[in-house]
Structure 1
Amino acid sequence: MNAFASLPLPEALPLVEPAVQQQRGLSGRLSLARRAIGPLSIVAAWVIATTAGWVDPSILPSPPALAEGFGQLWTEQNLPGQIALSLGRALGGGAIGAVLGLSLGVAAGLSRIGEELFDASLQMLRTVPFLALVPLFIVWFGIGEFPKLLLIALATMFPMYLNAYAGVRNVDRKVIEAMRSFGLNGYRLVGEVVLPLALPQIFTGLRFSLGVSVLVLIAAEQINASAGLGYLLNNAQTYQQVDVILICIGIYALLGLGADLIVRALERVFMPWRANIAVR
């Protein structure tokens, strides 16, 4: 007879995973609630001020009036199409600028020759206000889509360049020398060691770049735009339509928030360990 047959069976261990998942779900809901406190407080103050008549409706329309104006824009001005056009401009120009900034930043960070070729010129150009380039781009490239995309790309290139350059230069030399001692050199060293270690600052540059692309979009759409949010904003300014101006500003803000959420999602994919860095 087996001697182990008479031994008592161990009690089943409690399941920990459901409790962990429940705790994570509760933490996520609390985080969402804390994030919503600020916007909801602003909306509550706005409703109270307009309902009580403390603010002139011609200066700040009430939420129902703004909702009515939004409905008119949606049906009469094809608001979804205008948003899609502006979003395409921001993403197109921002993608071009981010790729250029990343390439130049990595080149200048890895090579002394690259730094000597690019850094001084880019540091000089980034101090030029992009609004000052609008009339110049009109003279050079006309009033089509190209100067709009070029203006957005130029403005978004510099944040990515600065962060990519700093990220590459801040990689620990001891790590690089250790990888070289294991026979890792050239493009493999850059792709498998340098760029992964520089990812935090590269994503910081991407976040700044996409945010700047939305900011510059407003200026870019001043170049004789016949459609887009900038077009609606110019018409609203001409006819003093405060509700349309506020709606366009709100949409610009949502576009900026969307760009930030895209970068956060990419960070969770490429750098999942950063989600657990926060102390509380």
Structure 2
Amino acid sequence: MTTLTDIARPRQSSTLAEAPVSLASDERPLAKRLGPGRRRQGAAALGPLVLLAAWVAGSASGVLDPRTLSAPWTVVTTTAELVADGRLQSNLAVSTQRAGLGLLLGILFGAALALVSGLSRVGESLVDGPVQIKRAIPSLALLPLLILWLGIGEPMKVITITLGVFVPIYIQTHSGLRGIESKYVELAQTVGLSRAAFVRKVILPGALPGFLLGLRFAVTAAWLSLVVVEQINSTSGIGYMMELARTYGQTDVIVVGLVLYGLLGLLSDGAVRLLQRRALSWQRTLNS
């Protein structure tokens, strides 16, 4: 097991300490211009609205062939019909359940492996190598093997999503664990914190930004994996609805499914970003 000092890698700060004060003051305006700053209300919706406007204009002018891409008003009508007969709700519920279960398992699995690898040299030797190998192999490339092992039922679909989720959770959480600044380690040793207290009060809060960043990647990976697995001999879900529409040449239903996937991804990413702002508010307090 590593000592408290081994958990964090010290960062070089002498260069910053020796920098002239005038340099720091000169760079402040540049940092304000180039920094992310605070986004205005509704700024995140600007891109999708521009895309929607281009879609409407292309359909109204005849540039977009309705056989190639259905018009927005056709998609709205088709959505209303799917809602009226209950198909949309039932397939959406199944897809959300699959993605949610795979995401939950992937988060638990990836976070557990990151803790084992990040808090122990032995654990890192045993865990990090296999995870990096899995990182180099796309989860979808494992589909033929998973189908042979598990068949084409729900376990195969959930495990495929889990495999796509746990890698970004592991990578970012492990990076957060190893990126704890050495001054916090020294402070913990000075006040005599036990290893358990050090992990609970320093390591886990310090790794939280990395975990939440990994969660953003993981949410996207969950929906990407879901798109594929639902089109493999499924009998329910948004992907099944789209595959069935492809068989009958129903472009409007396919577009409805694509819009749903896009909205689900956008909303889930927005939820994680909101969680980031709430959970990491202490960082802004320390930096101010």
Q: TM-score, normalised by structure 1?
A: 0.84
Q: How many Å apart are 1:191 and its aligned residue?
A: 1.2
Write the deviation string for residues 95-125 of structure 1: whole angstroms up to 9, x where unpaired.
1111111111121111100100101111111
Q: Once the 2 structures are TM-superposed, how far is the Cα of residue 247 of structure 1 from its aligned partner?
A: 1.0
CA distance in 1, matches of 2:284, 2:255: 35
1:237 aligned partner, one-letter code: R
2:234 aligned with 1:219, yes or no? no
Partners in 1 of 2:217 and 2:126 — Cα distance?
A: 24
Q: Which residue of 1 aligns with 2:275?
A: 266
Deviation at 1:223, TM superposition (A): 3.3
* Residues paired across the two proteins, number: 252
> In 2, Cα distance between the equivalents of 1:216 and 1:99?
18
* Structure 2 residue 89 is the aligned partner of structure 1 residue 104: no
Cα drift, residue 62 of structure 1: 1.4
- 1:56 has 2:65 as partner: yes
Partner of 1:69: 78
1:204 matched to 2:213: yes
Q: Which amino acid aligns with 1:54?
A: V
Q: Give the AA of the match of 2:215.
A: L
How many angstroms apart in 2 are the aligned matches of 1:90 and 1:213? Answer: 6
- For the pair shown, the structure with the greater C-alpha radius of gyration is 1
Q: Alpha carbons of 1:98 and 1:133: their partners in 2 closer, same or farther (altered >3 Å)?
A: same
Which residue number corresponds to residue 241 of structure 1? 250
Instruction: Percent identity, please.
Output: 37
Letter of the structure 1 residue corresponding to residue 260 of structure 2: I
Q: Alpha-carbon deviation of 1:274? A: 5.1
Give the distance between the partners of 2:130 and 2:265, measured in 1 at CA.
29
Matches of 1:196 and 1:140 in 2, distance apart?
Answer: 39
Q: How far 1:278 sits from its partner (Å)?
A: 11
- Aligned partner of 2:185 in structure 1 is 176
Q: Which residue of 1 aligns with 2:157?
A: 148
More relative contact order, 1 or 2 (CA 8 Å, 6+ apart) = 2
SS in 2 for 1:178: helix
Alpha-carbon separation, structure 1, partners of 2:141 and 2:47: 35
Pairing 1:36–2:45 present? yes
Q: Distance in 1 between matches of 2:284 and 2:185?
A: 26
Match of 2:124 in 1: 115
**CA displacement 1:132-162 (0-9 Å, x = unmatched):** 2112111111121111111101110000000
Map of 1:19 onto structure 2:
none
- Preserved contact between residue 138 and residue 223 of structure 1 (Cα < 8 Å): no
Give the AA of the match of 1:227.
S
Using structure 2 for the length normalisation, give the TM-score.
Answer: 0.82
Equivalent in 91, 95, 100 of residue 91 of structure 1: 100
Is the 1:148–1:223 Cα contact (8 Å) retained in structure 2?
no
RMSD: 2.2
- Alpha-carbon distance in 2 for matches of 1:181, 1:35: 45
2:240 maps to a residue whose letter is Y
Give 4+ residue runs of structure 1 displaced > 4 Å after superposition.
Answer: 274-279
For 2:270 and 2:257, locate their aligned partners in 1 and report how far apart those are by CA, in whole Å.
20
Match of 2:134 in 1: 125
Secondary structure class of the residue paired with 2:41: helix
- 1:187-242: CA deviation from partner (whole Å, max 9, x where unpaired): 22111101101111110011111111011111221332110011111112222221
C-alpha distance in 1 between matches for 2:187 and 2:168: 31
Distance 1:218 1:151 in 2: 11
Alignment gaps of 5+ in structure 1: 1-27
Aligned mates of 1:242, 1:185 — CA distance in 2:
62
Equivalents in 1 of 2:283, 2:68: separation in Å? 44
Aligned pairs (5 A) from 1:21-32: 31-32=40-41
Once residues 153 and 63 of structure 1 are traced to their aligned partners in structure 2, the CA distance between those partners, rounded to angstroms, is 34
